[in-house]
Structure 1
Amino acid sequence: MNGPAVHVDTASPVPPYEQIRAQLAALITTGRIPEGERLPTVRQLAADLGLAAGTVARAYRELEAASLIRTRRGAGTRVAPLPAPPRTPDPAKLAELALRFVTEARGLGVDGETVQRAVRDALEE
């Protein structure tokens, strides 16, 4: 992994394995660590961070369970392909987002026509 570094704050109430997992997950899902990129070995990352190997191994296990990384004997640990986003949005989720937007807009004192115009403008961007 030649990209962004992972840091652990030992004074944080968040367990070190969770800090590692969250940082790597964010780097992977945002594409800062690309698909196929090889991650350091458990021992190497543990040594780099001054942690026990078991701590890093737990983070890697959780990332693997989330299908963000794959570990293969002889090939190491690599970033897995991200799942394709769903093609059809969940109608209930879309309705929830629309209701939230309308509620917030009306809370600002905006009328329905202005809300519709704002949505059309946003769609045209």
Structure 2
Amino acid sequence: MIIEISAGAGSPSEQIRDRVTGLITTGALARGERLPSVRQLAADLQVAPGTVAKAYRSLEADGLVVSRPGSGTRVSDQASSVSPALARAARRLASTGREDGRDLEDVIRVLRAVW
């Protein structure tokens, strides 16, 4: 699982939550797939284990992952991904928004307006 933390892009726990959500939504993480342990991901990202645990709790509250003692954290059976075409369109929209100097809220506002 490839996740990077960027300075000034929100709290590390929010970034982890958002990146994992994206991986699940685009199908890069499939139903039932195991996520790295809290300790392993914290070491990989050079953040405190509590930061990863907070992100995992948020993902669990959203129904995207299920955590069980002894068996780790896995993508929920209820989590669903979008079609590859929709994922590509979202990447294009995000890229265009960044090129235009817009922030995420601006891009979401445009998407809501055309929806």
TM-score (norm 2): 0.66
TM alignment of 1:1-125, pairs within 5 A: 4-9=1-6, 11-82=7-78
Per-residue CA deviations over 1:11-37 (Å, capped at 9, x if unaligned) read 214101000000000111221100111
Q: What are the ranges of 5 or more consecutive residues in structure 1 without an aligned counterpart?
A: 85-99, 102-125
Stretches of structure 2 that go unaligned for 5 or more consecutive residues are: 81-113
Query: Structure 1 residues 30, 48: CA separation in 2 closer, same or farther (over 3 Å shift)?
Result: same
Number of residue pairs matched? 83
RMSD value over aligned CA atoms?
2.0
Which structure 1 residue ranges, 4+ long, deviate > 3 Å from structure 2? none
What secondary structure, in the 3-state scheme, does the structure 2 residue paired with 1:78 have?
strand
SS in structure 1 at match of 2:32: coil
CA offset digits 1:61-116 (Å, max 9, x no partner): 000000000001121100002357xxxxxxxxxxxxxxx57xxxxxxxxxxxxxxx
Distance 1:77 1:59 in 2: 12
Give the whole-Å Cα distance in 1 for the aligned partners of 2:29 and 2:39: 20
- Relative to the length of structure 1, the TM-score reads 0.61
Question: Higher relative CO (CA 8 A, sep ≥ 6), structure 1 or 2?
Answer: 2
Q: Distance in 1 between matches of 2:65 and 2:31?
A: 9
